[in-house]
Amino acid sequence: MGESESENEAPKVKLRPIVRLGMFLISHSHLLSVVCCTAGVLTLLLLPLLAKNTYISENALMPGSANPMLSSQEVSEANGLVKDLTSLDLKRMASGIESQRLIAQYMSNLGAEVSFQKFYPQSNQFHPLHFFSSPDSATIRENISCSSYGLNTVGIIRAPRGDGKEAIVLVTPYNSEKIGLGEALSLGIAYSVFSLLTRVTWLAKDIIWVVADSKYGEYAAVDAWLRDYYIPVFSGLGIQNAEMCHGLEENTIRERNMRDGFKRAGTMAAALVIKVADRSEQFEDSLSIYAEASNGQMPNLDLINIVNYLAVHRQGLRIKVEKMWSLLNCKWLKILGEILESLGHLAKNLNPQWKFGIPAADYVEGTATLTSSLYYQALGIPTGPHGAFRDYQVDAVTLEISSRVSSNNKGRQNDFLLRGGRLIEGVIRSVNNLLEKFHQSFFLYLLTSPSKFLSVGVYMITFALLVSSLPMVAASLYAHANNLDPSFEKNESNHPASAADELGITLRSWKWLYAAKKVLVVHLWGAVVLLLPYFICQIPNCTPTTSFVVWVLLSIFSLLILFWILGSPFSYVYASQPQQREWALLKSVTISAAFIGLCLMSVINFATAEIGALLMVPMCLMAHPLKLDVKSRKLRNFSRVACNLALGFIGFPPTAFLVFKGVFEGFDGISVGDFWNWLESIWAWSSATYLYIGMIHLPCWILCIHVILHPC
Amino acid sequence: MFGSKVTALSFLFLLLLGFSNCESQTETTMHTNNWAVLVCTSRFWFNYRHMANTLSLYRTVKRLGIPDERIILMLADDMACNARNKYPAQVFNNENHKLNLYGDNVEVDYRGYEVTVENFFRVLTGRHENAVPRSKRLLSDEGSHILLYMTGHGGDEFLKFQDSEELQSHDLADAVKQMKEKRRFKELLIMVDTCQAATLFSQLQSPGALAIGSSMKGENSYSHHLDSDVGVSVVDRFTFYTLAFFEKLNMYDNASLTSLFGSYNPSMLMSTAYYRTDLYQRRLEEVPVTNFFGSVMETIHTDSAYRVLSRKESGSVEIKMSTEKSDHDKERLLLNSNDLDQIGELNTEDQRGNIECIWSTFHKELQKVKDVDSFVNYGLVIMLPLLTVSMWLSW
């Protein structure tokens, strides 16, 4: 339609190239949108092929250039600490404070500055206004019982010739109530490194060792310490609280000292969270890296690179990153991998310079890792205590070391401590060489293996391809809906339009406002749905399933109320407009809103936007009134109906979640309550994904369903 | 009024004459002293080796006899006192740690952020602020042999200074040309250890300059080895093999520049050492390395200890003439300044006599003129009296 018009007008008025390009895109929007969409999905599948090997980008780091200095002497000292801690635990008299005292004693024997930090657990309550807000030190702590507090032990080594402006942080979370062997070993590793660092002459940054009390969760302890570190409390509230509780304890001088002196060092260059897994590996010592922080933020890739380099090339540890294990046995993925491998071989035969083929097994592994990387970033929940650091722009990773055999064997344990300690020492020495913050390497990346990554420039392409079809289709739908009438009129009556006609045309050209209003109302409703869990949480004794049902009912109810208050948006169109155009305009505006929402989300959390686009773009593009399709009774139309129903089913967030959970983890024991739990965890961590689901995805789904069920 | 104008003109023209006389003399000046300018241009701990390179060269030239006051040492960063240095206040260029380069007698003239392209040019061209002490100036003259050693990170036709600015090849060529014109050196050896070092010499055009670089265009210069105790690379390959060559020498050895330049083995260097000799007059085989890296020169016996301009006496006859002339000029100057207010008649006569004198010298000089530059100068000199006479006639 548009094309024919442009042809008619072309000889008369030479249009600008950009306008002609736009017209071309609009007129071929059907074909182009299908091509873009499939290309988007295909490039997503090709991403593991495009991954590049990681490299250390910052010259100053020089990992592994210095020989490790950690010797068996430090390890034997560390062994002493491990033994003392485990014996404390065996005696069962380790009433929290006892183990902290022991660690503090060990620290101060080394000549480090020791301080304690008391913190109170914060309830994970849903605060609708806490999204994107900075951590607040003055949060009112309700129901603090004086007996229940956590106690972090912090030791600081000052760099003898450093300027004291920068620091490197070591974190070892442990449960003060019950110390497992893994936790004791992680303390041992940190202690061996710490004792070495008190003696070395090459420190340029201070070293802070935080022994985080994970009684109330690892993240909470680290977060509490960071909050005190960066946001000092000057108001009397904190002191008052402490004073209130003070009477209950034995009031020794040491206690007062440790409360008064919250010790600080410089700004943090990097933080390492050290953990030792309680489970033991079958074949060799291995190291798992967890890096995802809130809203899919990642530490600088250089930090992961140096850990990877030192672990693999210096300590001979096997590196692991999270994978979707269920994908490893996927038949179709294997077949796809083999096809790609053979294509790679073929390309190599044609031109030896084309090297894009990777072995099928690598492809499957890469895809599994990529999927988990995408998932954990999209979730927006930190995968460990390192996430707390990211909120203060500090690069941090969690290193979980697991030993080959359960280390009852003394020699094995020494070897394990030595390797772990040397790895940490190497990373610290490398970071110590750093002159500025980590800035050289990528912050936006997805890992496909510990030593392969996809940078933002590559993975953005898939998203751009998926999303680019949306504005084209929206424009073409709008053009169609508006062009139908004028051309019709032009053919019918060629005389100059009267004033009334012109008014009519103007009115018609603004009729998309009705659709826009409807879309706006639905999006408002999305915001309301987001806030509902806050109230549902207040209901006592609720199982997840009932909460979910209540939530769904309340949502439907609020939708009806909104329509009632704002007047049914249907009423206007019934009266004046032919239905045919009404649904097209509605779809056009919906698609535009989805496009804007997805683009905004891709800035905040790319992974969420990517997964959301995968679900939403086909649904939005396909949406077509069922009534029209059923009327025409053609095979093509029936297939469209089937597609619409399937996409509408999968596009609904709860069903999408349950289907994917079922696919990845098996369908046994799945209930709708799982979705509620999942959502609860998302809002508890104030992830932007929660906002996305409520404000963009759900309204778009509702509008698409509305288009599908439109009474034409 | 009239007289003063004429005297001023004649003064100007005598100056010009003196200038053109002197220029022909530089080629024949004796090598009388040695200077070294040693520059490390890069900052940061991971560039430890550049400082070690420079300090090694510093130690070598000192050992071979250049005194501290004739070495300008520029170090862009202080590795010895860097907090990351495992051995505080010590710098090594070898992992055996036998030799501390940063011992007691290290005199750093420009350190840290003082090492800039601007200061580097000021040192070379001698255009300092008044307050700059003599120890920070390159006080060389037309009898100086200068060693200019630079190391850092470079690329095609540039050398990076301080991670923020760069020295480009045409800047270097320009500075050398200025030095030549100001007669600040007799011979200059530029030695550069950086990636694509050869490109830095491409614009040089001043006679007397000799240049050697660690690598050709498109090649990298690599470090020699890593000290796993200190945790950094401690020396670059080119400098390492240069030092290895000099370790075998003492200041009485007669090794020639050819033997130094020939000692670089591309397979050991992992790059091709490049040297440019087309601007250098002497044959490299005849030039001992101590001419640049040491301070060895001929001694000349003179009759009296304190004779002004005595070194020019070792030159040929026409130089003697010129010294007489300059004496004569001085007398003239004195006369002019005393008789500034006298009548014009006397001055014009002087002027005439002067012109005749000049014509005769000009004829003599013209026969010896070979290069175009001095010919142009003479042309200018001829123009001036013509102008003066015509002005005087038309007054």
A248 or B212, greater pLDDT: B212
pLDDT at residue B336 greater than cutoff 50: no
- Which residue is closest to B228 within chain A, CA to CA? A66
Q: In the structure, what pLDDT confidence band is assigned to residue A369 with cuts at 50, 70 and 90?
A: very high
Give the pLDDT confidence score for residue A274 in this predicted structure: 93
SS3 state of residue A447: strand
SS3 state of residue A398: strand
- Which residue is closest to B79 within chain A, CA to CA? A202
Q: In the structure, what pLDDT confidence band is assigned to residue A662 with cuts at 50, 70 and 90?
A: confident
A163 touches chain B (CB under 8 A): yes
Give the pLDDT confidence score for residue A8 in this predicted structure: 47
Q: Taking residues B215-229, what's their average pLDDT?
A: 88
Catalytic residue among B40, B50, B195, B224: B195
Chain B residues with CB-CB distance to A62 below 8 A = 46, 231-232
Q: Taking residues A202-215, what's their average pLDDT?
A: 91
Q: B107: how many CB neighbours lie within 10 A of its CB?
A: 12
Are A65 and B226 an interchain contact pair (Cβ–Cβ within 8 Å)?
yes
pLDDT at residue B363 greater than cutoff 80: no
Q: Taking residues B33-38, what's their average pLDDT?
A: 92
Rounded to whole angstroms, the Cα distance separating A397 from A297 reads 12
What is the residue-averaged pLDDT of chain A? 81
Give the pLDDT confidence score for residue A478 in this predicted structure: 86
pTM higher than 0.90, yes or no?
Answer: no
Are B86 and A200 an interchain contact pair (Cβ–Cβ within 8 Å)?
yes
Q: Helices (DSSP H) in A623-652: which residue ranges?
A: 626-632, 635-651
Active site residue B170: no
A125 or B248, greater pLDDT: B248
Provide the shortest C-alpha distance from residue A203 to chain B (in Å): 6
Catalytic residue among B81, B153, B301, B357: B153
Q: In the structure, what pLDDT confidence band is assigned to residue B306 with cuts at 50, 70 and 90?
A: low
Give the pLDDT confidence score for residue A261 in this predicted structure: 72
pLDDT at residue A252 greater than cutoff 50: no
Size of the A and B interface in Cβ pairs below 8 Å: 47
Asked if A310 contacts A452 with a C-beta cutoff of 8 angstroms, the reply is no
Are A65 and B84 an interchain contact pair (Cβ–Cβ within 8 Å)?
no
Rounded to whole angstroms, the Cα distance separating A463 from A602 reads 9
Q: Taking residues B80-90, what's their average pLDDT?
A: 89
Residues across chain B: 395
Of A198-207, A375-384, A395-404, A474-483, give the lowest mean pLDDT range: A474-483
pLDDT tens-digit series, residues A318-350: 888 888 888 888 888 888 888 888 888 888 888
Rounded to whole angstroms, the Cα distance separating A443 from A299 reads 6
A436 touches chain B (CB under 8 A): no
Asked if A154 contacts A119 with a C-beta cutoff of 8 angstroms, the reply is no
CA distance to A188, A481, A497, A638, per residue, from A578 (Å): 76, 10, 21, 24
Are A65 and B86 an interchain contact pair (Cβ–Cβ within 8 Å)?
no
Q: A357: how many CB neighbours lie within 10 A of its CB?
A: 18
Active site residue B97: no
pLDDT at residue A256 greater than cutoff 50: no
Are B83 and A159 an interchain contact pair (Cβ–Cβ within 8 Å)?
yes
Provide the shortest C-alpha distance from residue A190 to chain B (in Å): 21
SS3 state of residue A382: coil
pLDDT at residue A672 greater than cutoff 90: no
State CA A252 to chain mean position distance.
45
Phi-psi region of B144 (alpha: psi -120 to 50; beta: other; left: phi over 0): beta
Chain B residues with CB-CB distance to A196 below 8 A = none
Of A220-229, A679-688, B254-263, B324-333, give the lowest mean pLDDT range: B324-333
Provide the shortest C-alpha distance from residue B49 to chain A (in Å): 13
Q: Give strand pairing partners of B110.
A: B74
Chain A residues with CB-CB distance to B231 below 8 A = 62, 65-66, 202, 429, 433
Give the pLDDT confidence score for residue A254 in this predicted structure: 46
Give the pLDDT confidence score for residue B379 in this predicted structure: 84
Rounded to whole angstroms, the Cα distance separating B280 from A579 reads 92
pLDDT tens-digit series, residues A616-632: 999 988 888 888 888 87
Give the pLDDT confidence score for residue A12 in this predicted structure: 57
In B84-178, at which residue ranges do the beta strands (DSSP E only) sit?
110-111, 144-151, 154-155, 158-161, 165-168
Give the pLDDT confidence score for residue B75 in this predicted structure: 93
Asked if A415 contacts A295 with a C-beta cutoff of 8 angstroms, the reply is no
Q: Taking residues A538-559, what's their average pLDDT?
A: 84
Q: In the structure, what pLDDT confidence band is assigned to residue A697 with cuts at 50, 70 and 90?
A: very high
pLDDT at residue A94 greater than cutoff 60: no
Tally the C-alpha atoms within 13 A of residue A494's C-alpha that lie toward its C-beta.
1
- Which residue is closest to A59 within chain B, CA to CA? B46
Tokens describing residue A80: 């002493």
Q: Give strand pairing partners of A113.
A: A156
Give the pLDDT confidence score for residue A130 in this predicted structure: 57
Are B231 and A202 an interchain contact pair (Cβ–Cβ within 8 Å)?
yes
Tokens describing residue A283: 């074949």
Q: Taking residues B264-278, what's their average pLDDT?
A: 87
Asked if A49 contacts A358 with a C-beta cutoff of 8 angstroms, the reply is yes
Q: In the structure, what pLDDT confidence band is assigned to residue A466 with cuts at 50, 70 and 90?
A: very high
Burial class (CB in 10 A: 0-12, 13-18, 19+), A490: exposed
Phi-psi region of B60 (alpha: psi -120 to 50; beta: other; left: phi over 0): alpha
SS3 state of residue B241: helix
Are A433 and B229 an interchain contact pair (Cβ–Cβ within 8 Å)?
no
pLDDT at residue B210 greater than cutoff 70: yes
A79 touches chain B (CB under 8 A): no
Percent of chain A residues topping a pLDDT of 90: 23
Are B84 and A200 an interchain contact pair (Cβ–Cβ within 8 Å)?
no
Q: Taking residues B380-394, what's their average pLDDT?
A: 87
Are B83 and A66 an interchain contact pair (Cβ–Cβ within 8 Å)?
no
Rounded to whole angstroms, the Cα distance separating A280 from A412 reads 13
3-state secondary structure A227-273: HHHHCCCCCHHHHHHHHHHHCCCCCCHHHHHHHHCCCCCCEEEEEEE
Provide the shortest C-alpha distance from residue A480 to chain B (in Å): 58
Are A62 and B86 an interchain contact pair (Cβ–Cβ within 8 Å)?
no
Asked if A587 contacts A707 with a C-beta cutoff of 8 angstroms, the reply is yes
Nearest to B83 among A60, A65, A162 (CB): A162
Are A204 and B83 an interchain contact pair (Cβ–Cβ within 8 Å)?
yes
Are A429 and B82 an interchain contact pair (Cβ–Cβ within 8 Å)?
no
Give the pLDDT confidence score for residue B20 in this predicted structure: 44
Q: In the structure, what pLDDT confidence band is assigned to residue A253 with cuts at 50, 70 and 90?
A: very low
pLDDT at residue A146 greater than cutoff 60: no
CA torsion A345-A350-A351-A357 (nearest 10°) is -20
Chain B residues whose C-beta sits inside 8 Å of any chain A C-beta: 44-46, 81-88, 226, 228-233
Contacts 24+ apart (CB under 8 A), A676-682: A676/A544, A676/A545, A676/A547, A676/A548, A676/A551, A677/A544, A679/A533, A680/A126, A680/A533, A680/A544, A681/A381, A682/A379, A682/A380, A682/A381
Chain B residues with CB-CB distance to A429 below 8 A = 231
Chain A residues with CB-CB distance to B226 below 8 A = 65
Helices A301-309 and A410-432, packing angle to 10 deg: 140
- Which residue is closest to A436 within chain B, CA to CA? B44
pLDDT at residue B353 greater than cutoff 70: no
pLDDT at residue B313 greater than cutoff 50: no
Enter the DSSP assignment of B199: G
Of A206-215, B120-129, B334-343, give the lowest mean pLDDT range: B334-343
Chain B residues with CB-CB distance to A67 below 8 A = 228-229
Provide the shortest C-alpha distance from residue B84 to chain A (in Å): 4
Q: In the structure, what pLDDT confidence band is assigned to residue A493 with cuts at 50, 70 and 90?
A: very low
Q: Taking residues A522-539, what's their average pLDDT?
A: 84
Best residue of B42, B44, B46, B47 to probe chain A, by most A CBs closer than 10 Å: B46
Q: In the structure, what pLDDT confidence band is assigned to residue A541 with cuts at 50, 70 and 90?
A: confident
Chain B residues with CB-CB distance to A202 below 8 A = 83-86, 231
Asked if A568 contacts A711 with a C-beta cutoff of 8 angstroms, the reply is no
The closest alpha carbon to A291, from A381, A210, A222, belongs to A381
Rounded to whole angstroms, the Cα distance separating A78 from A188 reads 5
Are B232 and A62 an interchain contact pair (Cβ–Cβ within 8 Å)?
yes
CA distance to A64, A336, A404, B143, per residue, from A671 (Å): 50, 32, 37, 95
Give the pLDDT confidence score for residue B367 in this predicted structure: 61
CA distance to A224, A329, A453, per residue, from A357 (Å): 48, 21, 16
Rounded to whole angstroms, the Cα distance separating A74 from A106 reads 13
Q: Taking residues A29-53, what's their average pLDDT?
A: 90
Give the pLDDT confidence score for residue A95 in this predicted structure: 57
Contacts 24+ apart (CB under 8 A), B218-222: B219/B195, B219/B271, B219/B272, B220/B195, B220/B196, B220/B270, B220/B271, B221/B193, B221/B194, B221/B195, B221/B197, B221/B269, B221/B271, B222/B269, B222/B270, B222/B271
Are B88 and A161 an interchain contact pair (Cβ–Cβ within 8 Å)?
yes
A473 or A144, greater pLDDT: A473
- Which residue is closest to B233 within chain A, CA to CA? A65
Q: Taking residues A348-358, what's their average pLDDT?
A: 78
pLDDT tens-digit series, residues B106-115: 999 998 899 9
**In which element (H, E) is residue B34 found?**
strand B33-40
